[in-house]
Amino acid sequence: MALHSVIIAPDKRLKATSKPVDSVDAGIRRLMDDMLETMYAAPGIGLAAIQVGVPLRVIVADLSREGEPTEPLRLVNPEVLWRSPELVTYEEGCLSLPEHYAEVERPARARIRYTDHDGRMIELEADGLLATCLQHEIDHLTGVLFVDHLSALRRGIILRKLAKARKATIKASV
Ligand code: NI
């Protein structure tokens, strides 16, 4: 397994639309294992392939608590089939927007269809934090970040801070 580096916003690669996976082969399984390792190391609870520069419809997630056995989810070609009319608000973060958090309102429940790592078609009805996490990750597949759900003003503040932090890091490392 290998750790990938996570692309930090603002970066046009994060705005790309990811392509469907043709078949779940050894390469896709290895990609998902590497993404899980990268996510656990960060640490984070979800990661989309585009965040490590791979524009394929692949996401991973794990909502198990610290000290409990891991519960990795590997989703290929995930699709939201249904969203509940009721909404819920969670404070969201993203490995591509480090140290920035904001409350985002989303459907409280969602039915999601995906192909698992064995190539089986699965339908999952998610609620609570899992519903929010999976909708956040599926957003990444069409280039949508959680800040795109905020006002243009708040989004601008966060993205400018990230761009400034990157410049400072580049200066410090030369
Ligand atoms: Ni994210």
Distance from Cα 131 to the centre of ligand 1, integer Å: 14
Instruction: Provide mean pLDDT across the span 14-39.
Output: 98
Give a yes or no: residue 2 inside a domain.
no
Report yes or no: 78 and 138 within 8 Å, Cβ to Cβ.
yes
- Residue 84: the pLDDT is 98
Identify the H or E element spanning 123: strand 121-127
- Residue 4: the pLDDT is 95
CA dist 115 and 77 (Å) reads 6
Starting at the edge strand that comes first in sequence, how are the strands of the sheet with 46-48 ordered? 46-48, 58-61, 73-83, 109-115, 121-127
Distance from Cα 45 to the centre of ligand 1, integer Å: 9
> Could you read off the pLDDT of 103-136 as tens digits, one per residue?
999 999 999 999 999 999 999 999 999 999 999 9
Distance from Cα 97 to the centre of ligand 1, integer Å: 8
Give a yes or no: residue 108 inside a domain.
yes
Give a yes or no: residue 47 inside a domain.
yes
**pLDDT of 174 strictly over 80:** no
Residue 155 maps to which CATH number?
Answer: 3.90.45.10
* Active-site residue, 137 included: yes
Give a yes or no: residue 5 inside a domain.
no
Give a yes or no: residue 7 inside a domain.
no
Number of domains in the chain: 1
**pLDDT of 2 strictly over 90:** no
Distance from Cα 140 to the centre of ligand 1, integer Å: 7
What domain range is 68 assigned to? Answer: 12-173
Give a yes or no: residue 163 inside a domain.
yes
Give a yes or no: residue 54 inside a domain.
yes
Give a yes or no: residue 1 inside a domain.
no
CA dist 145 and 6 (Å) reads 14
**pLDDT of 41 strictly over 90:** yes
CA dist 130 and 62 (Å) reads 9
Closest CA to 79 of 58, 55, 53: 58
Global pTM reads 0.95
Candidate list 37, 68, 125, 137, residue with the active-site label: 137
